[in-house]
Amino acid sequence: MGKILITPRSFSRYGAKAIEGMKSKGYDVIVNTTGKPYTYEEFYKLSSDVDGIILGVDTVDEHVLTGAKKLKGISRFGVGIDNIDVEAANRLGIKIARAVGSNFTSVAELAVAFFFLLARNVVKNVNEVKAGQWNKTSGLELKNKTVGVLGLGAIGKEVSRISQGIGMRVIGYDPFVSKEDMKEKYNIEMKCFEEVLKESDFVTLHIPLTEENNGLMNKAALGLMKSTAYLINTARGGLINEEDLYDALTNKVIAGAAADVFSKEPPSKDEKLLKLDNFILCSHIASLTVNAEMNTIDLATHNLLEILKKIT
């Protein structure tokens, strides 16, 4: 009937049922069991004769798309599609689907966990204890602090809900949502971008990466934040100008930052941000919970099969 390529490594751990479901519908299924992402060359070769792809972090540029002569649909294992040349896909008639809503709880929970880690200097203190030091590190309570949420999709709304449960005030910026709905349904006071930066104790990013907002958090934006404020990014690394962030952290323009994403992953071992006590970086794990991965497997599989069913 056709062939499907699955690149996310999670499928080899949790996706046996989904894989069998695709096979039962007559598809040959290629699953990434290498334990690491495919190289660009490997991905290009594997995608050359498939009908559908369940896509992880692999780059789908025009070269890949034109080389994949039989490709009818791409189902993202997640929400972001900045690794796909959408314009070329549309031109070639290749459908794209996203697993919207499958991992928003997991991502939101890590973002809020960063609030605690930063406010209580947890990582620095743990590292000191492991090094044989017994320093008493003071911190801040989150109650009554203001969270500024940039992007009020499913993740941003969930961050807002959890934050309010802690006793935090939530303000937000998102030009694509109704201010009235945000206030009435979610108790979020919507403000302009600059006001959110100026008023917030924690600024958390939940927006897609586009040409327009690449480097959104630059020297000027960081300079609007309180000197006691923290920046959190669980969205895309390119949203932050990392050179400007380094300067802001070393010059105490802001108090600290935490991220689950970086402009180049993994970063160089010599990356100077990693040497700062007031910067935390995780290895793009926000959506990596068993719950989220199972949800995403089911939804990404459903989305691709729906595309292929409509086309064939």
Say which CATH topology domain 104-281 has.
Answer: Rossmann fold (3.40.50)
Same fold, 2-102+289-311 and 104-281: yes
Summarised one tens digit per residue, pLDDT across range 91-116 is: 999 999 999 889 999 999 999 999 99
What's phi and psi for 169, nearest 5 deg?
-85, 140
pLDDT at residue 60 tops 80: yes
Confidence band for 17, pLDDT divided at 50, 70 and 90: very high
Q: What is the mean pLDDT of residues 226-255?
A: 98
Q: At 311, is the pLDDT very low, low, confident or very high (cuts 50, 70, 90)?
A: confident
* Per annotation, catalytic residue among 120, 161, 284, 302: 284
Per-residue confidence (pLDDT) for residue 312, from 0 to 100:
61
For the chain, what is the mean pLDDT? 96
How would CATH label the architecture of 2-102+289-311? 3-Layer(aba) Sandwich (3.40)
Which among 62, 141, 184, 265 is annotated as catalytic?
265
Which of the four pLDDT bands, split at 50, 70 and 90, describes residue 310? Answer: confident
In angstroms, the CA 190 to CA 194 distance is 12
- What is the rounded distance in angstroms from the CA atom of residue 164 to the CA atom of residue 161? 5
**What residues contact 225, with CB distance under 8 A and at least 6 apart?**
197, 198, 200, 203, 231, 253, 254
Domain segments of the chain: what residues?
Answer: 2-102+289-311, 104-281
Q: Examine the pLDDT at 8 and tell me if it is beyond 90.
A: yes
pLDDT digits (tens, 9 = 90+) for 252-304: 999 999 999 999 999 999 999 999 999 999 999 999 899 999 999 999 999 99
One of 109, 236, 242, 293 is an active-site residue; which one?
A: 236
Minimal CA–CA distance to 190: which of 163, 164, 170, 172? 172
Q: Let me know if 236 is a catalytic residue.
A: yes
Residue 283 burial (10 A CB sphere; 0-12, 13-18, 19+): exposed
Per-residue pLDDT at 69: 95
What percent of the chain has a predicted confidence (pLDDT) above 70?
100
> Would the pLDDT of 231 be above 90?
yes
In this structure, the strands spanning 52-55 and 230-233 are unpaired
